[in-house]
Chain A
Amino acid sequence: MFYRLSGVHHANYVSDSRIFKVPADRNLAAFMFLIGIAAPFIIPSLYLNSYMLPWLIWTSAALGLNLVTGWAGQLHLGYAAVMAVGAYSSIHAARFGVPWEFALLVGGLTSSVIGSLFAFAALRVKGLYLALTTLAMQFAMDWVLTHSPAISGGSHASLQSPTLALLGQEITTDTGFYYVAFGWCVLVTIFMLNLKRTGLGRALVAVREKDFAAAILGVNSFYYKILAFATSSFIAGVSGALLVATFFFLAAPEQFSVAVSIQVLAMVIVGGLGSIIGSYLGVALILLVPGIVNGFVVSLSDWLGMQINVETLAHIPNAVYGALIVIILLIEPLGLGKLYGNIRDYLMVWPFDQFKK
């Protein structure tokens, strides 16, 4: 049902290496794209601004982390620091008078350079030790950020972002911000969709599975690890810059603290390593569900006439957020993307092949 394979025959390599092999996938993607374009006209501006916009930007950031963790298999617990580098350098560039298009590029490239430093840790160690090193690097970068007023913007440690302007148009409305985020998210998604059918993507997967084995096959794992870190850092940098330019409007060090790094990693893992639709779902779950649960608890306590302590209410979203990570990992370690895949596989052959189990 829905995902019909009937009539799908690959007679040549071009058709076999298409992005969407099943028409239903293509139709679904096109449908989602159209909804994305129509969103400002369907969704009230408050929800657009406070849910859709951060969802799209965090998704693009999570896709960048998925590139290095899901595709290349390198653990990264310092992703927020890389985002901070991009955000701060593009805002400084924009304040200096560089047009925003180039300022974003500057942010991305600076992130790439700094982010590649993490790759040098990846060349020496992997797995747990890599995670710990990147965590330590995150702490070091946080420290540099908070202790250098020249970067973080003086005694209040906050930096006002100048008005975003792209292609000569000043962007000030919620709809405008939304389209900027949407455009970036679409770009990153197209890049990631294409990644798995290029030589680069296959090389990254080879490095993930076993870097020694990849090296024996002639894949230069040193080069591809650095490339993975640099590319993902570029995405991180631009996403960080856009996050500040369209959502926070003010850059502060705690927006890119170690907790944020953990959060992005949680989004990627809950979504599913190496899964693109999973990243969308994972970000939605981690970003939106704790708030929804909290609202639910508030209305429930009102309905029951109970008084819940303000402090308790303040910490419930955190508890829910932790519990979500644990529960999803216990139900399906491969994440929401895998759950979606299971449903898709089930529907693909429905109503046949249902009696085997």
Chain B
Amino acid sequence: MDWVFLSELAINGVLTGLLYSLFAIGLVLIYKASSVPNLAQGGLTMVGAYVVLALSHDAGLPLWLAIPLAALIMFGLGFGIERVALRRLAGRPVVMILMLTLGLDIFLRGTTLAIWGGTSRSMELGVSYDPLFLGDIFISRIHLVGAGVALALFVAFMLFFRTRTGIKLRAIADDYMASWSVGISVERGVGLSWALASVVAVAAGVIWGEIQGVDQALSLLLLKGLTVAVLGGLDSILGAVIAGIILGVVENVGADFLDPLVGGGSRELIVAAVLILTVMIRPHGLFGRHDIERV
């Protein structure tokens, strides 16, 4: 057993896992506020990455300007999606809301590719590709940057949920009706959660776009993001971060053991297995709220 190799796998697993968390935070934000499973987060991430590209490469803006501008645009898009589509289905059975977000995902993907084309493009963030060596352990710089962004977002949201607006969102997450009756605008709160999730999608899109190129594959992060969100508990941001780390390590180390046995490509299988096991054993996840169903 090569401990250096194993710890390299684990550390890179932690970093990759934090990148999954970056994606999953968007899912959790929306689920927390409105109990809507946002299966369009993959599409949003893709749109976010393409908007950044359009602003920086096509319009020639510098990146430091393009990314905040893209975040602003996506903020509006998130608000718009909630206003036009989700609000009208509020209170409907989950199957319809699920289908609506799936339809949105397909629509966003199709439209993005119709406008900007399907060829993979690179983000060119300017992060060096030279590996970083920590002793004998090899670490990719962009993963490190992404993990830093994920943690920064986590801290930012923790602080945000202590502000006045954040407390309103927490109240909405806790009880729709009660928030309504004390004068909180539930609609605006849910809209805000969509807008914030879209901003998170920009961050995820930029980092993942730098890692694997900006193309349709960005929306495939959905399964991993969902697994992380469910494992952490769908309404817990802390859960998303911790579950991301867990999934990253399990996936990285597990794939190393399993790949020789099954002939490669076992990552997806591990992710699917983690999702199935989580739902079977502990559906509300590690830190999620355990809802009791009443007849």
Pick from B84, B99, B114: contact of A315, CB under 8 Å: B114
Which B residues, 244 to 287, have Cβ-Cβ distances below 8 Å to chain A?
Answer: 262-263, 265, 268-269, 271-273, 275-276, 279-280, 283
Q: How far is it, in angstroms, between the C-alpha of A265 and the C-alpha of B119 when the chains are bound?
A: 29
Which B residues, 190 to 224, have Cβ-Cβ distances below 8 Å to chain A?
Answer: 223
Q: How far is it, in angstroms, between the C-alpha of A136 and the C-alpha of B265 when the chains are bound?
A: 16
B284 to chain A, nearest CB (A): 9
**Are B98 and A312 in touch, CB under 8 angstroms?**
no
B37, B103, B268, B273 pick with most chain A CB within 10 angstroms: B103
Count residues of chain A with CB under 8 A from any CB of chain B.
46
Which A residues, 298 to 332, have Cβ-Cβ distances below 8 Å to chain B?
Answer: 309, 311-312, 314-326, 329-330
**Are A140 and B276 in touch, CB under 8 angstroms?**
yes
Once A147-B263, A212-B295, A326-B100 are accepted as A-B contacts, the answer to whether A321 and B273 lie under 8 Å apart by CB is no
Q: How far is it, in angstroms, between the C-alpha of A333 and the C-alpha of B95 when the chains are bound?
A: 10
Chain B residues positioned under 8 Å from A266 (CB to CB): 99, 102-103
Chain A residues positioned under 8 Å from B269 (CB to CB): 139-140, 143
Pick from B103, B111, B119: contact of A329, CB under 8 Å: B103
Say whether B167 faces chain A, with CB atoms less than 8 Å apart: no
Pick from A128, A136, A317, A326: contact of B272, CB under 8 Å: A136
Say whether B110 faces chain A, with CB atoms less than 8 Å apart: yes
Q: How far is it, in angstroms, between the C-alpha of A321 and the C-alpha of B111 when the chains are bound?
A: 11
Say whether B145 faces chain A, with CB atoms less than 8 Å apart: no
Main secondary structure of the interface of A (DSSP, over half): helix
B106, B109, B118, B223 pick with most chain A CB within 10 angstroms: B106
Chain B residues positioned under 8 Å from A60 (CB to CB): none
Chain A residues positioned under 8 Å from B227 (CB to CB): 136
**Are B275 and A132 in touch, CB under 8 angstroms?**
yes
Chain B residues positioned under 8 Å from A273 (CB to CB): 95
A316 to chain B, nearest CB (A): 5
Chain B residues positioned under 8 Å from A315 (CB to CB): 110-111, 113-114, 118
Q: How far is it, in angstroms, between the C-alpha of A137 and the C-alpha of B271 when the chains are bound?
A: 11
Say whether A59 faces chain B, with CB atoms less than 8 Å apart: no
Pick from B88, B111, B114, B276: contact of A330, CB under 8 Å: B88
> Top 3 A-B pairs ranked by shortest CB distance?
A322-B107, A325-B103, A319-B110
* A to B CB contacts below 8 Å, 10 in the list: A75-B94, A136-B271, A136-B276, A147-B265, A266-B99, A311-B119, A315-B113, A318-B114, A326-B107, A333-B89
Interface residues of A (CB under 8 A from B): 69, 75, 121, 124-125, 127-129, 131-133, 135-137, 139-140, 143, 147, 210, 212-213, 216, 262, 265-266, 269, 273, 309, 311-312, 314-326, 329-330, 333
Interface residues of B (CB under 8 A from A): 37, 84-85, 88-89, 92, 94-96, 98-100, 102-111, 113-115, 117-119, 223, 226-227, 230, 262-263, 265, 268-269, 271-273, 275-276, 279-280, 283, 293, 295
| Contacts A140-B272, A318-B113 known; 13 new A-B pairs at CB < 8 A | A128-B94, A131-B37, A132-B37, A132-B230, A135-B226, A136-B271, A140-B273, A212-B293, A262-B106, A266-B102, A321-B106, A322-B109, A329-B100
